[in-house]
A and B are shown apart, each in its own frame.
Chain A
Amino acid sequence: MIPAELVSFLESGLSMLVATRDARLSPDATRAVGARVEKGGAELTVFLPSATCAEALANLSDNGRIAVCFSRAADHRSVQVKGHALEVREAAAHERGRVEGYLGALAEAWGFVGLPASATLRLAHWPCHAVRFRVESLFVQTPGPDAGAPLGEVAGRAP
């Protein structure tokens, strides 16, 4: 379950890394271009660019397991969310605004750490697939001694 105070963080211009794996446990890394917290934090939808997500989609149709790492460029504050896919579909036209808004926010965030917006805005982002998954575990991923610890175990402190 995603706590309420994390929702705006996860839906902001963060770097989003996605891992899936195939039937032989061979992992795949790709990127997402936007996220939406749903069902009061019980579910999360991430948007994967159709141009680069073929392998992730094949893995998700095989076993549904997914991990998404959210990380803020300016201070490396990071959270990893894991779960099982409930639905994979083509993103609807009305969701395009959210994806493009995300990319603009990412370009701004990366601009602060020196990556030119002209490069960030070239990330393929539409059309997309939307992957809705059940949130099963949350981990602190900010580099440091408690990186990888379940979020609940470092309660009282922001990830």
Chain B
Amino acid sequence: MIRLEELGPCLQGIVPAQIATCGRDGEPNVTYLSQVHYVDPGRVALSCQFFNKTRRNVEENPLASVLLYHPLTFEAYRLRLRFEHAETEGPLFDAMALRIQAIASHTGMTGVFALRSADVYEVLSVERVEGFLLPRDPALEEAAPSLPAGPLTELRGLQVVSDRIARAPDLAALLAGALEALDTMFGFSHAMVLVPAGGEELVAIASHGYGEAGLGARARLGAGIIGCVAQRRRMLRVAGVGAELRYGRAIRERVAASGGGALPPELPLPGLADAQAQLALPLLAGDRLVGVLAFESRDPLCFDDWDEAFLGIVGNQIAAGMDRVQAVAADADGGAPPPRAPPAEGRRRVFCYYCNDDCVFVDGEYLVRNVPGRILWKLLGQHRREGRTEFTNRELRLDPGLGLPPVKDNLESRLILLRRRLQERCPDVRLVPVRRGRFTLQLDCAVSLVEKECG
């Protein structure tokens, strides 16, 4: 008999599985399955959200026949199952529910479709369906994907990533170094780190592979794959994102057709619009969420169990590193008051702060909002009034007007975001770190400051 563990790729949901059941009255039923989840060598769990007939049938007659398909070879495998029990809480339920919650929220269906139960089945047999495919035609075959690197290479790669994290002098260098090394050593070409930005929001302060578009990407707590990972503090891997979203949209259309009322809009994917696989994991320092590390790929089979385990280790290192550099930066604050600066020359840029919306525009274009916006406004104001160019993290921390929380204020992250936004939208104005806890405001232009009530 084939072992269930050998069917890992078939359980990723890329090609939907099908299930046949039979009621007590002898009427067979067949439908698609959205998730077949490996539980242990002798059991699988199937997700139950809408498949009412299947559920009624197995309560009357526990036997089921499931066909699974290998997403690359398309070989079919038949599982003979016997329904054991349904779980509505606990780790198995949580793991399966998280994935459904993420997809439901992406398609504006939060609360409309959710996991009702994780239905656990005993696996009676696993067999390959003989004769399901015709012999291979070499003319139609594509090149086989290359095999992953061996364990020694992996270990050496991990050492490089770990070194970058351990030696990073500040948060920006730590995140940029780690993401770059993950790409160079392991080919994780699209990655971002998002941090809590106050309230219900997360914002990307480092990204790799997206160009400028990745910075400042936002996710709401509990919404989408990243938001769900942040809320539940669990790793989530979704293969076949396209298929999962089509499934969510199908439900959305049925709900809309049933007069389901106004539905919230779909959420765009945070990075690649055509991502086919996503893996996101919480970055935890103790029990505190310091961020979310998220990866995307256009290859639906990009992430597997190995990636989960490996990136789990890397994620822990990044989280500990983030905690370390932020603590060091907070300790290193202070020192003598900074000197006055000569007035800036050159062209003029107009910064406008909209008090009601708490955001800053430059030359009529949105730049940044909330705490980073207030920080920028404070710096530019002090520069105009006092001619100052050098500032300390400490004085920002001590300014109640900025609205930073008294502990774990993420000031470093906010400064990185502000620095990056300026780099993108207004490179004439720069915040350049000079040493720990201290930075200068550099201007290649004259600056006008305007304050308005609303946008």
- Chain B minimum-CB-distance residue to A137: B27
With contact pairs A29-B67, A68-B30, A122-B134 given, residues A74 and B246 touching in the complex (Cβ less than 8 Å): yes
Q: Is there a chain B Cβ closer than 8 Å to A51's Cβ?
A: yes
- Indicate if the CB atoms of B22 and A144 lie closer than 8 Å: no
With contact pairs A27-B64, A145-B50 given, residues A123 and B134 touching in the complex (Cβ less than 8 Å): yes
With contact pairs A25-B63, A65-B27, A66-B28 given, residues A114 and B134 touching in the complex (Cβ less than 8 Å): no
Bitwise interface map of B from 132 to 147 toward A, beta carbon under 8 Å scored 1, else 0? 1110110011100000
Q: Is there a chain A Cβ closer than 8 Å to B356's Cβ?
A: no
Q: Is there a chain A Cβ closer than 8 Å to B293's Cβ?
A: no
Query: Which A residues are within 8 Å of any B CB, using their own CB?
Result: 17-21, 25-31, 49, 51-52, 63, 65-69, 71, 73-78, 80, 82, 113-124, 139, 141-148, 157
Q: Chain B's nearest CB lies how many Å from the CB of A45?
A: 17
A65: B residues at CB distance < 8 A: 26-28
- Indicate if the CB atoms of B243 and A157 lie closer than 8 Å: no
- Indicate if the CB atoms of A143 and B142 lie closer than 8 Å: no
- Indicate if the CB atoms of A118 and B141 lie closer than 8 Å: yes
- Indicate if the CB atoms of B28 and A20 lie closer than 8 Å: yes
- Chain A minimum-CB-distance residue to B79: A29
15 contacts between A and B (CB under 8 A): A17-B67, A27-B22, A30-B67, A49-B131, A51-B130, A52-B76, A65-B28, A66-B28, A67-B30, A114-B242, A118-B141, A123-B132, A139-B53, A143-B34, A145-B255
Mostly, the B contact residues are mixed
- Indicate if the CB atoms of A29 and B254 lie closer than 8 Å: no
Measured in the bound complex, the distance between the Cα atoms of B73 and A134 in whole Å is: 36
A122: B residues at CB distance < 8 A: 74, 133-134, 136-137, 140
With contact pairs A26-B63, A115-B15, A142-B254 given, residues A18 and B133 touching in the complex (Cβ less than 8 Å): no
Measured in the bound complex, the distance between the Cα atoms of B140 and A116 in whole Å is: 10
- Indicate if the CB atoms of B31 and A69 lie closer than 8 Å: yes
B74: A residues at CB distance < 8 A: 115, 119-120, 122-123
A80: B residues at CB distance < 8 A: 29-31
Measured in the bound complex, the distance between the Cα atoms of B133 and A119 in whole Å is: 9
B300: A residues at CB distance < 8 A: 114
Q: Chain A's nearest CB lies how many Å from the CB of B260?
A: 8
Q: Is there a chain A Cβ closer than 8 Å to B213's Cβ?
A: no
Count residues on chain B whose CB falls below 8 Å from chain A CBs: 59
B51: A residues at CB distance < 8 A: 147-148
Measured in the bound complex, the distance between the Cα atoms of B241 and A113 in whole Å is: 11
Q: Is there a chain A Cβ closer than 8 Å to B179's Cβ?
A: no
From A19, A113, A139, give the contact of B243 (CB < 8 A). Answer: A113
B130: A residues at CB distance < 8 A: 51-52
- Chain B minimum-CB-distance residue to A117: B140
- Indicate if the CB atoms of B50 and A18 lie closer than 8 Å: no
Extra inter-chain contacts (10) besides given A19-B20, A49-B131, A119-B74, CB under 8 Å: A17-B67, A27-B64, A52-B132, A67-B20, A69-B31, A71-B32, A77-B250, A123-B74, A143-B254, A145-B258
A28: B residues at CB distance < 8 A: 20, 65
Q: Is there a chain A Cβ closer than 8 Å to B233's Cβ?
A: no
- Indicate if the CB atoms of B251 and A144 lie closer than 8 Å: yes
Q: Is there a chain A Cβ closer than 8 Å to B66's Cβ?
A: yes
B50: A residues at CB distance < 8 A: 143-145, 147-148
With contact pairs A80-B30, A80-B31 given, residues A25 and B22 touching in the complex (Cβ less than 8 Å): yes
B89: A residues at CB distance < 8 A: none
Q: Is there a chain A Cβ closer than 8 Å to B129's Cβ?
A: yes
Bitwise interface map of B from 5 to 36 toward A, beta carbon under 8 Å scored 1, else 0? 00000000001001111101011111110100
Measured in the bound complex, the distance between the Cα atoms of B250 and A123 in whole Å is: 26
- Chain B minimum-CB-distance residue to A157: B257
Q: Is there a chain A Cβ closer than 8 Å to B61's Cβ?
A: yes
Bitwise interface map of B from 237 to 255 toward A, beta carbon under 8 Å scored 1, else 0? 0001011001101110111
Q: Chain A's nearest CB lies how many Å from the CB of B125?
A: 11
Q: Is there a chain A Cβ closer than 8 Å to B425's Cβ?
A: no
A49: B residues at CB distance < 8 A: 131
Q: Chain A's nearest CB lies how many Å from the CB of B420?
A: 34
